[in-house]
Amino acid sequence: MSGILCGSTAKTNEEYKRVIKSRMKLMITIIIIGVITAAVGFGAEFYLKVSINERMIGVYSGIGVGLFVVGSILLIKNKFLLNNEEKLKESRLNNTDERIQEIGNKAFRAATYVMLIALYATALIGGLFYPVLVEALMFIVCTFLLTYIIAFKYYNNKMWGSKMKKRILSLCLIVGLLINLVYQLINHFMKIGDAITIPMCIVSIILMMIGIAYTGWCFGKHKNPYTKEWV
């Protein structure tokens, strides 16, 4: 998992210890998710009265146990690092190596491309037999892309300051209207399920509300929200 969970910019062991403690919290979260996943397979049939075949029970329990074991191993490993200064320093140097970080970033990008292509292919082929599969996988892809855009804008704004923040706010109304327009066009020519329409409507409404609020604020201050001068 180098480059995903192991990258760090810590310059001292004390800084790196804080990074390790944050990772331990993540490992605890993974353990909890594993327990919940394994419990869903058994609990859905016995408590929620949902019929689940033996194969799916095996899938749920296998994934849940796998997450639990991996999270536990990594939690113990990080706990060991906190108590061993020599190993802690060695791990810090390995994780702060720019070459390792660059390799990890490239590997992560390659894996992302393959994942998106695989999801699209699965939705395209599987949709012929299970239409709901297309909606579910397309929702996953859209969620991923939307999360990337939001995260990119957030960190870009964090790096470049308030000017970029104002520019993003001014574009919210336009982006919201575009998303709503795309939804209306798609819905006019083909019927799309709630798994896609509901998120699109929610996102477009939120963006339009933010854009309208910012535009109103600018007009109240006698400013043009779309000017290139961001003061």
Each domain of the chain, given as residue ranges in start order, spans 1-96, 98-160, 162-231
Per residue in 50-86, pLDDT (tens digit) is 566 777 777 888 888 899 999 999 899 888 888 888 8
| Tokens (6 digits) for 149 | 């855009």
Please name the residue that has the structure tokens 């699965």. 122
Q: Write the Ramachandran bin of 161: left for phi over 0, alpha for psi from -120 to 50, otherwise beta.
A: left
| 7 confidence band (pLDDT: 50, 70, 90) | low
In percent, the amount of the chain with pLDDT more than 70 equals: 77
How many C-beta neighbours within 10 Å does residue 172 have?
20
How far is it, in rounded angstroms, from Cα 24 to Cα 27?
5
pLDDT value of residue 72: 93
**Whole-structure pTM value:** 0.56
| 231 confidence band (pLDDT: 50, 70, 90) | very low
Please name the residue that has the structure tokens 């605890």. 28
The chain-wide mean pLDDT, for the chain, equals 76
Q: Three-state SS across 97-161?
A: CHHHHHHHHHHHHHHHHHHHHHHHHHHHHHCCCCHHHHHHHHHHHHHHHHHHHHHHHHHHHHHHC
Residues 6+ apart with CB under 8 A from 144: 116
How far is it, in rounded angstroms, from Cα 106 to Cα 98?
12
**pLDDT higher than 80, residue 32:** yes
Better-predicted residue by pLDDT, 38 or 159? 38
Q: Compute CA distances 124 → 55, 118, 154, 193, whole Å.
A: 24, 10, 32, 15
